[in-house]
Chain A
Amino acid sequence: MGPRAALALVALIAVMAMRASAGTPEPVQESGEPPPDSAAEPPPESADGVDYQAEPADSIEEGEFEVDVGATGRPGEGPRRRQRVRFSSDSLAGTWREGPGDPLSGGAIEDRGATGAFGFGRLAPRWGRGLVVGAAAEPWSIAPVDRGAGAAFRGRSGEGAWYRGGEKLAWDAFYGRFSRSTLAGVQSRAGAVGFGVVGARSRVQASLFTRREAGGSELAMDRAGRWRAEGALERRVGRTVLTGRVRGGLASFRSLAEPKRSGPAQALTVTSRLERGAGSIMALGSLWRFGSGLTGSRAAVEWVKRSGPHSALAVGLEQQQGARREPTAAARARPLRQGASIEWRKQTPALELAIRHETWGSRWARHSVRSVTAARVEAALPLGSTLRVTCSAFRAKSGESLYLAERDADRLVLRALTGAGERVRIELGTPLTRGRLRAGLDLTTSAARPARVQWTLDWTRRSRMRRAR
């Protein structure tokens, strides 16, 4: 049932793609992720069942400087400080964080010169389709959200240094620690074609890739002759954007830089996005195979209707089956699951209300194994202050993983929850000494555990740097 549904959707969209390609193709920007994931989960390199944090790749303008200091804690524990500095000048830019226990500690400094650019710190490169360096986290993803330039989140696949130079014959190189290995890599591009090599002592992987404004292809191989190849294509026909990705190769090929992100050996994904007036329909069909008997599929449709700039309704249906991670003892194949979600939000000058309900289960979600109902209210208070209250009621059966996506001041947290309970977040923001102070209180109650309370205090100030005369 599961693979057949995904296959039918793939076939339908593929036929549309073939018909679309008969006309004059008009490249568009790589659209990134298919329909919004109604069950966000951490990437495969993170442990299952624990919170995951990611840093949004929002940038500051040239000449700006931002300081962020904060603390977090729980009753009975001492506060844990954390601070962040970001800056951007005409040639130098960087961001740095520190704090005990902060998984986002560290950062990156980048210097841009006339002959090239170099940097050190956090590394998240991406070559071609990411078979060797910079793969997407999910087996159905066409592009990663946390690897390479322009990604929505600052990834962290390694720590080290990099250099980028050249114009007609562009090249870049990196050296650093990736997945407990010290790696060096160099790649060169002439026009749309590139070639790169990554090595660690006796292990070497090579990549030949093409990169177009929309899509691209890559062939990757190691010294033992293990290989993988992937191609992606994007076309626009009228108001519909069609994207396809196909991958093939050997299951034994594993990326040296990010072995846990090697992904499936074979995969086929087709997405479509139709924009019509204030509404849009997105569809995705994907089939993949990690190895013998380790297959998976996903089919999803989402309809979004916007009523003005501050009001939207989204309805989604989805079906998943099989393993979504590289098979390990902990990553079990999942039985057939169907999900349904509905989300609505509206904003007025003084108030915003957003509600969402999603449920996952078998037999078209009639036998629910996981559900979340959430409401968020944000009110504008006097003196530029805001109060936001988010309440989520969740329930996950034993063996089911549930992550609640929460956006903090400087990070996105996928909160791992188990059992049944409620989670309440109260956030107050107010201007303070030319910066902004945010205070937050999280309360999680569940039937299985005693209530957990966590507080957060954060102050951010952004200012412009003065130029020396």
Chain B
Amino acid sequence: MASGRHSPRRSALLVVGCALAAGLRFSPAAAQDFAAPAAAGPGPSALVFLERGLPPVEGGVRADAEATRWFGLDELVTRGLAAGGSFRSLRGALGISQTGEAELGWNSAGLAVGAARPSGGAAMRLVARADRASSAARAGAEAGGGAWIEAGSGITVWALAPQLETWGIAPPLRRSLELGAAIEAGGVRAWLTRAAPVPPAADAAHAAGLGLGEGPWWLWIEARDRPLRALLGVGARAGPLSLGSAVESHPVLGETLRLTAGLGREP
């Protein structure tokens, strides 16, 4: 996570997280700058679109905001804002985020463009980052994409490679190819994902989740391996307004809390 960044305090913060995680062959959270709490796969949130490169099937205009406190560290908080829109089958999203404190953190800007129909969608994403401290201003970017397809009635299969190419300073987290599948029926959604290992790690990271929808409420749990841990999420919707929260407990790195609020197109 901290490879390519040499700030001592940044390292002090993140060594607790991802550098330590890599050394101990742990799998940290896979999301970073636009880490909205959401079930795996494509979703209506513009933040999800930016983070995963999976275009939403839902059209219309939407705005989302998120705040994530990583591993219980007040110094390591991400705040993000994104807006998405559509024209016919085309989908697009723009977003900005800020992570960490003024002298240590970094700013990000993201762009995702793609197309989606009920049968499937594909998109490309670009995220650029720059250190917030002007004295050590360095920048980097990553480009990737994703695609999903309706494999059958209620079954969705996706593949995403969010970092096909990187430039400049290394991203906070190296992300490899991820495959996933979800099945949804009667208000119940179950999914499985597999993220290929990022060298020098030798093992892939897996996640399995189950979500239940009842009226405006949406509740989901997700289990992840390396090490085994769980995520609990809850969401609610009232008209165009949606709220969500998720808590992930990591046995070593601590607890990550995510909050999001959205306004716009309905799922």
Selected contact of A375 from candidates B115, B177, B202, CB within 8 Å: B177
B residues 177-225 in Cβ contact with A at 8 Å: 177, 179, 194, 196-197, 199-200, 202, 204
Most B CB atoms within 10 A — which of A373, A395, A421, A443? A373
Report if A350-B117 is in contact (Cβ < 8 Å); known contacts: A311-B151, A373-B177, A391-B164.
yes
Query: What number of residue pairs across chains A and B have CB atoms under 8 A from each other?
Result: 87
Determine the chain A residues whose CB is within 8 A of the CB of B77 once the complex forms: none
Determine the chain A residues whose CB is within 8 A of the CB of B11 once the complex forms: none
Residue in chain B with minimal CB distance to A387: B122
Whether the Cβ atoms of A357 and B164 lie closer than 8 Å is no
Q: Which of B21-29, B141-149, B240-248 contacts A (4 or more CB under 8 A)?
A: B141-149
Whether the Cβ atoms of A377 and B122 lie closer than 8 Å is yes
Determine the chain A residues whose CB is within 8 A of the CB of B122 once the complex forms: 351, 377, 379
Whether the Cβ atoms of B157 and A424 lie closer than 8 Å is no
Report if A353-B159 is in contact (Cβ < 8 Å); known contacts: A307-B152, A346-B151, A348-B119.
yes
Interface size for B (C-beta < 8 A) is: 29
Determine the chain A residues whose CB is within 8 A of the CB of B152 once the complex forms: 307
Residue in chain A with minimal CB distance to B179: A355
Whether the Cβ atoms of B157 and A420 lie closer than 8 Å is no
Selected contact of A346 from candidates B149, B164, B176, CB within 8 Å: B149
CA distance A307 to B159 in the complex (A): 20
Determine the chain B residues whose CB is within 8 A of the CB of A311 once the complex forms: 151
Q: Contact mask A348-370 → B, CB, 8 Å, 1/0? A: 10110101010000000000100
Residue in chain A with minimal CB distance to B203: A368
Whether the Cβ atoms of A377 and B197 lie closer than 8 Å is no
CA distance A398 to B179 in the complex (A): 26
Residue in chain B with minimal CB distance to A352: B149
Most A CB atoms within 10 A — which of B151, B194, B199, B204? B199
Report if B36 contacts A (CB, 8 A). no
Report if A424-B161 is in contact (Cβ < 8 Å); known contacts: A351-B149, A392-B177.
yes
Whether the Cβ atoms of B194 and A353 lie closer than 8 Å is no
Residue in chain B with minimal CB distance to A351: B120
Report if A51 contacts B (CB, 8 A). no
Whether the Cβ atoms of A377 and B119 lie closer than 8 Å is no
Selected contact of A357 from candidates B115, B149, B194, CB within 8 Å: B194
CA distance A350 to B117 in the complex (A): 9
CA distance A402 to B41 in the complex (A): 30
Report if A344-B199 is in contact (Cβ < 8 Å); known contacts: A351-B122, A373-B177.
no
Q: Contact mask A419-460 → B, CB, 8 Å, 1/0? A: 111101010000000000000000100110000000000000
Q: Is the interface of A mostly helix, strand, loop or mixed?
A: strand
CA distance A374 to B152 in the complex (A): 21
Q: Contact mask B103-125 → A, CB, 8 Å, 1/0? A: 00000000000010101111000
Determine the chain A residues whose CB is within 8 A of the CB of B151 once the complex forms: 311, 344, 346
Whether the Cβ atoms of B200 and A420 lie closer than 8 Å is yes
Q: Contact mask B129-166 → A, CB, 8 Å, 1/0? A: 00000000000000001011111100001110100110
Determine the chain B residues whose CB is within 8 A of the CB of A357 once the complex forms: 179, 194
Determine the chain B residues whose CB is within 8 A of the CB of A420 once the complex forms: 197, 199-200, 202
Report if A391-B157 is in contact (Cβ < 8 Å); known contacts: A348-B149, A351-B121.
no
Least distance between A291 CB and chain B CB atoms (Å): 37
A residues 380-408 in Cβ contact with B at 8 Å: 389, 391-393, 395
A residues 3-30 in Cβ contact with B at 8 Å: none
Determine the chain A residues whose CB is within 8 A of the CB of B149 once the complex forms: 346, 348, 351, 353
Whether the Cβ atoms of A421 and B194 lie closer than 8 Å is no
Report if A389-B120 is in contact (Cβ < 8 Å); known contacts: A373-B204, A420-B200, A422-B176.
no
Report if A353-B120 is in contact (Cβ < 8 Å); known contacts: A344-B157, A373-B194, A446-B199.
yes
CA distance A101 to B197 in the complex (A): 35
Whether the Cβ atoms of B147 and A377 lie closer than 8 Å is yes
Least distance between A391 CB and chain B CB atoms (Å): 4
Whether the Cβ atoms of B161 and A391 lie closer than 8 Å is yes
Most A CB atoms within 10 A — which of B150, B177, B202? B177
CA distance A374 to B178 in the complex (A): 9
Whether the Cβ atoms of B200 and A447 lie closer than 8 Å is yes
Least distance between A105 CB and chain B CB atoms (Å): 33
Determine the chain A residues whose CB is within 8 A of the CB of B177 once the complex forms: 373-375, 391-393, 422
Whether the Cβ atoms of A353 and B176 lie closer than 8 Å is no
Whether the Cβ atoms of A393 and B157 lie closer than 8 Å is no
Top 10 closest pairs, chain A to chain B, by CB = A393-B196, A375-B159, A447-B199, A377-B147, A420-B199, A391-B161, A353-B149, A351-B120, A373-B196, A348-B119
Can you give 25 contacting A-B residue pairs, CB < 8 Å?
A: A344-B157, A348-B120, A348-B149, A350-B115, A350-B117, A351-B149, A353-B120, A353-B148, A353-B159, A355-B179, A373-B177, A374-B177, A375-B147, A375-B161, A377-B122, A377-B145, A377-B147, A379-B122, A379-B147, A391-B177, A420-B197, A420-B199, A422-B176, A443-B164, A443-B165
Told that A353-B158, A377-B159 touch, could you supply 19 new A-B pairs with CB distance under 8 A? Answer: A344-B157, A348-B117, A348-B119, A350-B120, A351-B119, A351-B120, A351-B122, A351-B149, A357-B179, A377-B122, A377-B145, A377-B147, A389-B145, A393-B177, A393-B197, A419-B199, A443-B164, A446-B199, A447-B199
